[in-house]
Structure 1
Amino acid sequence: MTSIASRSSSSGSTHHTASDTDDKGTEESIELPNDLIEFNWLPPEQDIDFQSFLDNMDLSMGHDDTLNSTEAFTGSISDLLADIPTDLEVISDFYLAEEGTGPEKDMSILRSDTNVTNQVAVGDTVPSPPVSINLDARSDMPEQAQALLRYYKTHIESAPTCIQSSRWKSPWKLLFLPCAFETFAELSLLGGTSHTRSAILCALLSHSAFQLHKSGSNSQSDYWHNLGVKHRDRAQKHLRSAVETEASDSEQTKYKELLMAFIAMAMISIYQGNRIARIFLLDAERLIRVRGLAEENPELIRVLHHVYTYLRVIAEGIYALDDGSNDSEQAEAFPQVPESGSFRISEDLLNMGLDPGVEKNSKVGYGDIHLQVQGRWKETLHSRIHGIPESLMTLLSQTISLANEKNRLETRARCDPKLAADLKHHIKTLEERIWTWSSSSEVSMILTGDVSFCTKGPNLVCHPRNQAMISAIHRALIIYFYRQVHDVSAMILQDVVRQALEHLESCISEMINSDDFALSLAWAAFICAREAISPDLQNRARHIISITDSRGVYFTSRPAMEVISSLWAKRQAVGGIDLGGSVQASDIPCSV
């Protein structure tokens, strides 16, 4: 098979269109119903340009992925995607259309048609595998595109009415779905579209197919899983080509769509395990740092930055706890990604960024994409998109970065009295901030701190179900801090585990089906279940984890229940001895 790079270069054009074919060239489908304020967050313009960014964005991070916003990238563009495994290539090759232009697309008819699904329940719109009839087959259209788009549209609009009435529109509905519809129209009317848009469309089709596979509402689970894999692989190949042929375009629209493609790929890669999802998140970070950290970004781009932050923080909060039992099966396909990423606190940042009362200026607010600094920022969107106050997300991010670097810092502190004192003070201060954090006070400050919350409608954080989710995440953070930072016995934390499970029980069934809440709920459930010891708490945790697994939401290399059950069994095998918060399940002896 001719490589993507060679075919792209042979076209002799800086703009390409792309379209999909299946193995037979046709598609079968069926019609369906104070110091930090001055910190330089932006990379120096003279040190980094976009071409150097392209020369280092490899989509697989086969080398050290420690990211420094002030470090210039080096490398060769020929090495961009060299580590992407061949077994993740698309099942059939895709067609590179000739360069061309087309008129502006009028989406009013398509949007009018798709609005019909608003009136239909999710269960009534589950598509069926293709039969002999071929209603909308086009050689350039992804398989079952129409059916999967309809299902996806219904899926993201199926959040409970009580939640919908008190929240801002989901980014997946605000940005991703319209882009998918426009891409579908371009393929239908013009026969091709950009690689970036094709990647977004195929990623959403893959996500939709995986949801059908997990739904259990039909008897064709294997078909939908295989189709999801097929669309995922196509999306990945289109993204490779987009990086090579389209990413250097300086237009803001191109930046937005490329970032959307990375985020969409990270989302569907959850079904492969956390290490793969992080590949796309790491490259998304590089893209943001090089092209996205301008102040006063348009709101839609800021929405994407918030979605990236949310995905990255949650992913990092699970990554170190995954037992990695399936890594040997993926070792050849994906080189090991260093555990640190950029989520490790540096010595010079100890005891900085820990004042929740400081007012963040726009430079810090826009540049702090990993939430390393506590404080108030009036432009934050976290509470409106994912229902989590930025202050809580910041505490979680700071705890994760501390836990990732704690062992190295403690080792160095043995020979450095100043570092030892700084580390001790940092841990103590962060602990106080976690304990004094209050959901009710934060919600009150959110609602009174910005008049736009009053003018743009009810805020999501006010909803009782969402407040239960916030409380569950806060309790899970307490558990995570004491296990990963202080390494206290899990027995001491059982009451906190119980509280977290109670909060999860009151909200998870209603909120798990939304892509905007599912990952944070799954993280809290995993942290609590991992430390449940008594049979009663384990039974309650098992029920909650079964809900997240059935939704297909886990960052671990195996379904979360398998990882948790293995940990419980090995803990029981050593007589219920506490295993330590930093011990992975695969490191635990099976017998005394």
Structure 2
Amino acid sequence: MAGDNSERVETSSRTRSFTGCATCRRRHVKCDEGHPTCSMCSSSGLSCAGYKKDVFFDARNPNSGVRFRRPPLTEDERQRMSQWLISAAPPKSTNQLLLTIDEESEKYKPSPEGLQLSFGPFGVFQVQLEQDKPASPDDPLPPVEEYEDASTSSPSQDMSQVLEIFPITSEFSQWSPGFMQSLLEQPDQGSSPLSPDLLGMTMDQTHVDTSVLPREYQLTNFLSESYCNLMSPTSLTSPPSLTRAIPQDAVFLLKHYSSTVISLMTPVRHKKTPWHILFIPHVKECLAALALGEDMSHASLCNFYGTLAISAFSLGGISRSEKWLEQGETYLQRAREHAKLMLMTAYDIPKPAKYKAILMAILTMVQVSNFSGRGDRHQTEIYFLEAEKLIRLKGLKRKKSRKVRLLHHCYVFERMFHESIFICGANSVQRRHVRRAVESSGLSRCSVDGLSFRLYKWQNLEQEMLRVRDREEGENDLHLERPGLFSATLYPEIYGVPEPWVLLLSLVIRLGVEKDESEQEPNGNGLNLKDYISRAKALEDYINQMQRPKEAFFMTHQSSIDQHILETMLEAMRHALAIYFYRRIYDLNASMLQDKVASVRDCLLQCEYADSSVVHGSAGFIWPAFIAACEAEDPEVQKSFSAWFDISAQRSGLSCFKQTLISIEKIWEEKRRAQGRSFTWLDLMRRAGSQQQGLVV
């Protein structure tokens, strides 16, 4: 909106909007949106805090057809920008540049591609001396098999095409917001992924001159006790590596993440998953903010670099390129540094970042730790505990939006699989710290479930599972302690899994904890033998009677192939849950479970035959594959599982599949050495726990 009086209208004709100055919005009063300051603040004797940077059109009078465009910069920034432009293009130099353009234009013959001339501020006057044919942004991404050629090229050689389409030659070109939006359209919305030869932008070309920006970062001192065990900070200032430059390969890595890596997180293919509506848009905003020279929170930068790290590791595995793996290590280190600084101030007042941004960053670090193989289960455990602490202190007490609930579901789903395997840290220092932090805050009353994985005192499981839970219980029973039905659950939408299936896994985990407590403290407060057997029998019956969801459950999915894959995945989970129950609760001999082991193997092969292009790496597949493979005794069945993990590793490029297979092969080797003794993954996990090492799964 211009500051000219002729463009103003009567205050009475204006409608209430969300575009007023920050001061008026905070006071909940109507703002006339004057520039550089509004008259409401002036008449009240207050300091006008200015306006949010945004571009929009404002039709003051619908009948006049006049529309005003608000500039995205503040008055002070626009003045400084104008001064810079004037000094960068004095009259004599401008005339000389125009003459140069005329001379260079005469040297080129007419061609269908046209002539690119861009030089000076915003790339207006720069002459492109070599007229190479620019590659189309719609060039398709080569097949997976062709990624092997990428091993001979550096990831820093990949953005020449982007530079030809969107020149970034002037230090002020970062002020164009449409630049990143054009690059980051989803591949499934009409544009194909960029080719691997796209990323030759250097750091010098993309470095942002932050001297023109008004805001600066300030850090306060706080570090959670549990995170100190993971990475103790040496100072409270950002390390030199935490630059505000645009990563040269970010666009290509985000394309690969969107088109390939997301299929590892979820087996569903609709566009309403948390990754489509939360994670990817947030990372795009970070990239655009870097291009604009904006300051960002450490939470946003952690999420940004963590996402790039996952994608780079995936590309490195697919192409067998050490350079991509090194790039992934670089981004992972940056993500860890930002995570460290983020957790120092995560609970400060005023808050340094939004709750969703912090939780997304922690979940991204969980995903990096899980998928990259750069770490062990103890490191993943610490990130999970940080997420739990944040949710219990900041998330449960609030009214939860749909996006917040999506993030909570992502945390719980991944936490359950982690908890089922990582059994050696039930009373660790980090877990005790989280319990003390929540209890001392007085917010433990917001949690419907207990702060440790102990069994809820239900009597009739069949009746309890049919009980309808209200909204408070459904949303604040974080770790699914109490049986019951919750109609607003989001697990089917995110993972294609009914909530009762996740709830049963939680109940088996909790009964296993009771068993461990009783063995360690026979005279403790745990379940007596009669109650233990009664509850175990109830769980056994319910697991064996589990029914596949009705066809209406799969109505949201697009094709019959997708529906078949989801049905088969659920069947694999059902058999794996039974295997997990019998080994964890009854310690049944593995020879009695081989039919269920073979059933899980057959489910994996069915999905392979149904659609060999699918990356079968979602959490819904890797967990049942691990549980069943550990109990496989037939050499041919073992070979089938090994082949599945190898193929998944090749398609996804992520080392977690290879690392999991290594753990499974250790178990097979231990079984051969045991000479008939019933050796399980539990034994290996306990042994690894006593050595302060985690089993990679």
* TM-score normalised by the chain length of structure 2: 0.59
Q: Distance in 1 between matches of 2:200 and 2:629?
A: 40
Which residue number in structure 1 is paired with residue 150 of structure 2? none
1:285 is the counterpart of 2:388: yes
Amino acid at match of 1:487: D
Which residue number in structure 2 is paired with residue 532 of structure 1? 632
Which residue number in structure 1 is paired with residue 504 of structure 2? 395
String of CA shifts for 1:29-76, please: whole Å, max 9, x gaps: 53166xxxxxxxxxxxxxxxxxxxxxxxxxxxxxxxxxxxxxxxxxxx
Residues 261, 314 of structure 2: 8 Å contact kept: no
String of CA shifts for 1:426-462, please: whole Å, max 9, x gaps: 1111111211111135x65x57xxxxxx8x7879998
1:256 is the counterpart of 2:356: yes
Which residue number in structure 2 is paired with residue 146 of structure 1? 251
Aligned in 2, Cα 1:151/1:577: closer, same or farther, shift over 3 Å? same
Which residue number in structure 2 is paired with residue 16 of structure 1? none
Which residue number in structure 1 is paired with residue 280 of structure 2? 177
Partner-residue secondary structure (3-state), 2:679:
coil
1:474 pairs with one of 558, 574, 578 = 574
Residues 382, 390 of structure 1: 8 Å contact kept: yes
Which residue number in structure 1 is paired with residue 107 of structure 2? none
Q: Distance in 2 between matches of 1:237 and 1:512?
A: 36
Residues 186, 258 of structure 2: 8 Å contact kept: no
Q: CA offset at residue 532 of structure 1?
A: 0.4
1:488 pairs with one of 588, 591, 601 = 588
Aligned in 2, Cα 1:476/1:158: closer, same or farther, shift over 3 Å? closer
1:208 is the counterpart of 2:311: yes
Q: Distance in 1 between matches of 2:258 and 2:544?
A: 40
Which residue number in structure 1 is paired with residue 542 of structure 2? 433
Residues 469, 484 of structure 2: 8 Å contact kept: yes
Aligned in 2, Cα 1:417/1:160: closer, same or farther, shift over 3 Å? closer
**Equivalent residue pairs, number:** 463
Residues 345, 401 of structure 1: 8 Å contact kept: yes
2:563 pairs with one of 421, 442, 463 = 463
Q: CA offset at residue 206 of structure 1?
A: 0.7
After TM superposition, the structure 1 stretch with the greater mean CA deviation from structure 2, 140-149 or 392-401, is 140-149
Residues 352, 373 of structure 1: 8 Å contact kept: no
1:369 is the counterpart of 2:478: yes
Which residue number in structure 1 is paired with residue 421 of structure 2? 318
Amino acid at match of 2:195: T
1:349 is the counterpart of 2:457: yes
Q: Distance in 2 between matches of 1:511 and 1:299?
A: 34
Which residue number in structure 1 is paired with residue 410 of structure 2? 307
Q: Distance in 2 between matches of 1:251 and 1:336?
A: 24
Q: Distance in 1 between matches of 2:345 and 2:267?
A: 44
1:195 is the counterpart of 2:295: no
1:359 is the counterpart of 2:473: no
String of CA shifts for 1:126-165, please: whole Å, max 9, x gaps: 457869897645562253323322322333577999953x
Q: CA offset at residue 184 of structure 1?
A: 0.9
Please show how residues 495-510 of structure 1 align to structure 2 within 5 Å.
Answer: 495-507=595-607
2:666 pairs with one of 566, 578, 587 = 566
String of CA shifts for 1:543-584, please: whole Å, max 9, x gaps: 12223444366779x701111112212212333543246321
Which residue number in structure 2 is paired with residue 407 of structure 1? 516
Partner-residue secondary structure (3-state), 2:487:
coil
Which residue number in structure 2 is paired with residue 18 of structure 1? none
After TM superposition, the structure 1 stretch with the greater mean CA deviation from structure 2, 432-441 or 147-156, is 147-156
Which residue number in structure 2 is paired with residue 50 of structure 1? none
Q: CA offset at residue 289 of structure 1?
A: 0.6
Which residue number in structure 2 is paired with residue 231 of structure 1? 331
String of CA shifts for 1:333-370, please: whole Å, max 9, x gaps: x99979x9988543663648762101011111001121
Q: Distance in 1 between matches of 2:297 and 2:606?
A: 44
Partner-residue secondary structure (3-state), 2:538:
helix
Q: CA offset at residue 238 of structure 1?
A: 1.2
Aligned in 2, Cα 1:184/1:316: closer, same or farther, shift over 3 Å? same
Q: Distance in 2 between matches of 1:542 and 1:28?
A: 35
Residues 266, 494 of structure 2: 8 Å contact kept: no
Amino acid at match of 1:31: M
Residues 301, 338 of structure 2: 8 Å contact kept: yes
> Quick one: higher RCO (CA 8 Å, sep 6+), 1 or 2?
1
Q: Distance in 2 between matches of 1:569 and 1:187?
A: 50
Please tell me whether Structure 1 or Structure 2 has the larger radius of gyration of its CA atoms. Answer: 2
Residues 283, 303 of structure 2: 8 Å contact kept: yes
1:518 is the counterpart of 2:614: no
Q: Distance in 2 between matches of 1:200 and 1:513?
A: 26
Amino acid at match of 2:280: L
Residues 383, 460 of structure 1: 8 Å contact kept: no
Residues 309, 369 of structure 1: 8 Å contact kept: yes
Partner-residue secondary structure (3-state), 2:368:
helix
Gaps of 5+ in 2: 1-154, 162-174, 209-242, 436-449, 689-697
Q: Distance in 2 between matches of 1:120 and 1:161?
A: 22
Aligned in 2, Cα 1:129/1:184: closer, same or farther, shift over 3 Å? closer
Q: CA offset at residue 484 of structure 1?
A: 1.1
Partner-residue secondary structure (3-state), 2:295:
coil
Q: CA offset at residue 537 of structure 1?
A: 1.2
Residues 395, 434 of structure 1: 8 Å contact kept: yes
Amino acid at match of 1:149: L
Q: Once superposed, what is the RMSD of the aligned Cα atoms?
A: 4.0
Which residue number in structure 1 is paired with residue 532 of structure 2? 423
Q: Distance in 2 between matches of 1:408 and 1:140?
A: 50
Q: Distance in 2 between matches of 1:133 and 1:419?
A: 65
Residues 387, 411 of structure 2: 8 Å contact kept: yes
Q: CA offset at residue 485 of structure 1?
A: 0.9
After TM superposition, the structure 1 stretch with the greater mean CA deviation from structure 2, 146-155 or 498-507, is 146-155
1:111 is the counterpart of 2:186: no
Partner-residue secondary structure (3-state), 1:578:
coil
1:384 is the counterpart of 2:493: yes
- Of all paired residues, the percent bearing the same amino acid is 24
Q: Distance in 2 between matches of 1:299 and 1:262?
A: 19
Partner-residue secondary structure (3-state), 1:463:
helix
After TM superposition, the structure 1 stretch with the greater mean CA deviation from structure 2, 278-287 or 134-143, is 134-143
Q: CA offset at residue 169 of structure 1?
A: 2.2
Aligned in 2, Cα 1:108/1:375: closer, same or farther, shift over 3 Å? farther
Residues 566, 585 of structure 1: 8 Å contact kept: no
After TM superposition, the structure 1 stretch with the greater mean CA deviation from structure 2, 363-372 or 341-350, is 341-350
Amino acid at match of 1:233: Q
